[in-house]
Structure 1
Amino acid sequence: MRAVLVVNPKATTTSERSRDVLVRALRSQVDLSVRYTRRRGHATDLAREAAQEGVDLVVTLGGDGTVNEVVNGLMTADPPTIRTGGSPAERLPALATVPGGSTNVFARALGLPREWADGTSMILEGLRLGRSRTIGLGRADDRYFTFCAGFGLDAAVINRVEQARRRGRVSSPSLYFRSTLSHYFLGSHRRHPAISLERPGEPAEGELGTVIIQNTAPWTYLGDREVNPNPEASFDLGLDVMALRQLRVASTTRTVTQLLSRHPDPRGKQVLRLHDLDEFTLVSARPQAFQLDGDYLGERHKVRFTSVSGALRVIC
């Protein structure tokens, strides 16, 4: 089996020594080539090249941003002619994800342990046993995502956190909490919601303040605690949505409290939840912050979302 390991050398929870251990472990089972990312977006190019070379497996070592780039490289590759027949997922290399970031939502949603060493052991066992599953992905315009997207408040908070990290701050739950409070009270147009959700054959849902989209559960983690606006979201179904119609202090506080409870089930007059959607479009009268898989992508007036079933094989 030919495999490529795509390494983000800036991965927050691994060292050069641990990378060497991982490489030796993988080489005990596969014919491995190691490729390092050098810039943002480089993992997409490396994964696309690997798929077009006809490798059987692409392994990532990094966080959710690295996984997202690799998935987009695989999904936009032209597979070689030797990979014919079967489903689209079977014509692409399989994906294995070694957790190396600060949160690793995608790997943990697949059932992998949080630590890279334990995750590696589980992946090696999956390779020995031929264990894999096929998952669906989300797509926002022309870009794929694995577990979540955001339009509005949560994306703006991610932007603030990324700016703080570039100034040397460490990613932590407290940093996200402070960034959320700061944007909510100082940076948002919370009294004038501007987002509409449009679905084929359905009335538009208007005056939304922020929208969270999930392709699986959970949406994210605070340490070991799952944060789950849409607990029924699944890699095997369409996309789930939770939106807040207003960002008033009382209703928003109540929703956040529900999200952080032991059995989250956010409800209320200001909460819109939709399950297992094939497609929808978000439109805003003013530009909104936009993120995919925890990666801030700027501001948009409009984004079309679609569910892509049976898109990719993963080792887990």
Structure 2
Amino acid sequence: MRALLVVNPVATTTSARTRDVLTHALASDLELEVAATDYRGHARELAREAAERGSADVVIALGGDGTVNEVVNGLLHHGPDTGHLPRLAVVPGGSTNVFARALGLPNDAVEATGALLDALHAGSERAVGLGLATGTPGSADEQVPRRWFTFNAGLGFDAGVVGRVESQRERGKRSTHALYVRQALRQFLGDPHRTHGSIELLRPGHEPVAGLALAIVCNTAPWTFLGNRPMYAAPRASFDTGLDLLGLTRLSSAAVTRYATQLLRSSPERGPRGKHVVALHDEADFTLQSQAPQPFQLDGDHLGLRTSVTFTGVRRALRVIV
């Protein structure tokens, strides 16, 4: 089997020695081509070329969720899988690895490589649904390129936290859960929209819902992890359904304390709840818009400010080795 291994050489939790060991293990069973990424967006280019040339049966992403997202967007550059695209495989190397863990893969890169080889020998794979974010027609963001996401997207508060973390990482800080907690506190103290949200939810055939201070779009559960603790913003979200949404209309000190506690205690059966919660399940498409530009993130990648984003759930978009 022909495989392209896309390696992020600065992945958070893998060393050069570990990556060499994993590469040799994969090369013993596969006709393996290895490509290391040199810049942001490089993994996307490599995966796109492999799909267009038909040079690989499987593309393996060795890195964190950002690397996986780029590979997915490269594979799906021309649209959802029609049965001819390379399959996706993941070896987790980031600090959180939400997509890999949501698929049930081990969070350790060595163990995940063993599981991947077992799955390849058994021919085990599944088709997963993905989310697609596009600029809304008629909005200032109409021409923004569309982008696929694997596990979550956010407009507003949580995207602002992601942006702050990225800024700290560019200054040399390590990506740790403590860093996220500190930046969440700073975002809370500095967010001018947290008590009077400016995000509006639009759905075909429904009345608009205004005043959201935070909007999290989930394609699977859990939403994220705090260390080894899974956190469920939308417990019913699944790779086999459409998109789920958690919106909050108020982020006062009391509300944040309450909902943060609920997230820490969340489970596959129960997520955040209360009078300031807006929750949707298995939605095909909807739009989030704001008069004031809001921070925007996909799969933990901060993409700047947006005033309007349309989200679409695409079922069976890509085949994944599991």
- TM-score with structure 1 setting the length: 0.95
Q: What SS does the aligned partner of 2:83 have?
A: helix
- The residue type paired with residue 276 of structure 2 is Q
CA contact (8 A) 1:62 1:100 kept: yes
Please give the residue correspondences for 1:1-316 in structure 2 after superposition, counting only pairs within 5 Å: 1-54=1-54, 55-77=56-78, 88-141=81-134, 142-261=146-265, 263=267, 264-316=270-322
1:121-148 CA-to-partner distances (Å, cap 9, x unmatched) read 0000000000000000000001000000
Pairwise CA RMSD? 1.2
Unaligned runs of 5+ in 1: 79-86
CA contact (8 A) 1:89 1:310 kept: no
1:65-112 CA-to-partner distances (Å, cap 9, x unmatched) read 00000000000148xxxxxxxx93421100000001111111000000
CA contact (8 A) 1:49 1:77 kept: no
CA contact (8 A) 1:89 1:134 kept: no
- TM-score with structure 2 setting the length: 0.93
1:5-40 CA-to-partner distances (Å, cap 9, x unmatched) read 001111111122212211111112211100111100
Offset of 1:191 from its aligned partner?
2.6
Unaligned runs of 5+ in 2: 135-145
CA contact (8 A) 2:293 2:307 kept: yes
Offset of 1:113 from its aligned partner?
0.5
Write the distance in 1 (CA, Å) between the matches of 2:156 and 2:260. 16
Identity of aligned residues (%): 55
- The residue type paired with residue 75 of structure 2 is L
CA contact (8 A) 1:290 1:296 kept: yes
Greater CA drift, 14-23 or 306-315 = 14-23
Q: What SS does the aligned partner of 2:282 have?
A: strand
- The residue type paired with residue 128 of structure 1 is H
Offset of 1:223 from its aligned partner?
0.4
Aligned residue in 1 for 2:138: none
CA contact (8 A) 2:266 2:272 kept: no
Greater CA drift, 249-258 or 259-268 = 259-268
